[in-house]
Amino acid sequence: MRGPVLLGGAILAALLTWAPVISDTPEQAITETPLLVLVSVLLLLAAVTVRATDKRLSWVIAVAGLAWLLHPGAAPTESLRISLDRADMVMTVRGWPASVTWMVTFAVVVLGLHLVRGLPARVAGRAWTDWLGIGLVGLAVFEVLYATLQFVGLDPIWSGWHVGPRLVLGTLGNSGAVSLLLALAAPFAPLAVLPVIAWGFLVVQGKLAIVAAVAGVAWQHREQLLLSPPWARALGAVWIAVPIWVALVWHGTASVTERLRIAGFGVSDLLASPLIGHGPGAWAWRIPAMQFAEPRAGAMASAAYTTPHSDLLGWAHATGLLGLLVLGWWLWNQARVALVSPVGGAWVALVICMLGWSVSTIPTLALPALLIWGTATRETRC
């Protein structure tokens, strides 16, 4: 089946260059219509590939495809004049590129998930889950050490060894991404390494990531926690409370408030088309327009939010209530397998992170997330 899909796509891409299906001009159609065919073929290929092992996922793909066909690039080319940090700027937005990026990312993630599930259970004499834990914990410890250097003003990669501005970004270039990596690694970490990760949270201040890490570690060690003495539980409570308290007091709640405001725009916009949403990538032009339409918007914003800070909200905005229902149907089956897997704690942490971050669109985190999800659900058969 995959051969005919690819061959048919190759023929259609060559024959339809004249058809401005989603383009503003015939000149744009020469490249954009074949790209539309390519993305459609990639999506169909993903559905055919996963259907044998995960039929529910193929329905999720079908909903994404439906949203894509109904809104293949609905945004007109337009300019948004925005005021950010007291500086005026013009952002030119066209829905088609954002739509293509969304669909290609989605198809690649689905195919990647299928490949990860096919990895051997043992590698070089050890369980694959052991290697996954070693890799992620080792990376997390390195990020904590490097973030600590940055915390004291040293940044050998970007600034050299002289003391400079204290920007705690790790090697990922973003403190939030570092905190999410720590959250994903924490459930794998031996108990002796958890204080190192806790220190990392104190340095990078990721509020949602702290919650995700605590939930993931608690689930991973749930049997030991039930049997642990009271003093051990009290120590665990301190480990939970101190980073959260420092994160709230040190950095405050301004970033949380801003993201909740942006999420409110997304929900409000979704209510305008609740059944099937606004299509893949539509957030990139619809939400910034709403964001900066408010009086004093620039004074309230630190960025133009062209992507949602939530994988779940992004999916809902793109596919609507129908997409949420089908996704929930698939997630229920995934949870039944993942929660009892050897990496169940990391899967719990990942799900929480995806509620407040678009993990799938962050290149430095997408592959670790894919490895965790695929490993946790490798026994899925539906």
Taking residues 337-361, report their average pLDDT.
Answer: 93
Q: What is the pLDDT of residue 133?
A: 94
List the beta bridge partners of residue 93.
Answer: 78
- The b-or-e profile of 120-133 (16+ CB within 10 A means b, else e) is eeeeeeeebbeebb
Q: How confident is the model at residue 353 (pLDDT cuts 50, 70, 90)?
A: very high
For tokens 């290929």, the residue is 45
Token digits of residue 168: 């705690």
pTM of the model: 0.84
Token digits of residue 215: 């939930």
Answer whether 340's CB lies under 8 Å from 83's CB.
no
Which range among 72-76, 88-92, 340-344 has the greatest average pLDDT? 340-344
- What percent of the chain is modeled with pLDDT above 90? 30
Q: What is the pLDDT of residue 280?
A: 86
Q: How confident is the model at residue 347 (pLDDT cuts 50, 70, 90)?
A: very high
10 Å Cβ neighbour count for 114? 17
| 360 torsion bin: left (phi>0), alpha (psi -120 to 50), beta (else) | alpha
* Whole-angstrom distance, CA of residue 46 vs CA of residue 283: 24
Helical (H) or strand (E) element with 168: none
> If you average pLDDT over every residue of the chain, what do you get?
81
Say whether pLDDT at 23 is over 80: no
* Whole-angstrom distance, CA of residue 143 vs CA of residue 147: 6
* Whole-angstrom distance, CA of residue 350 vs CA of residue 8: 37
Q: What is the pLDDT of residue 179?
A: 93
Q: What is the pLDDT of residue 164?
A: 63
Answer whether 273's CB lies under 8 Å from 90's CB.
no
Assign 77 to helix, strand or coil. Answer: coil
* Whole-angstrom distance, CA of residue 137 vs CA of residue 116: 19
Looking at residue 304, its amino acid is A
Summarised one tens digit per residue, pLDDT across range 96-105 is 567 777 888 8
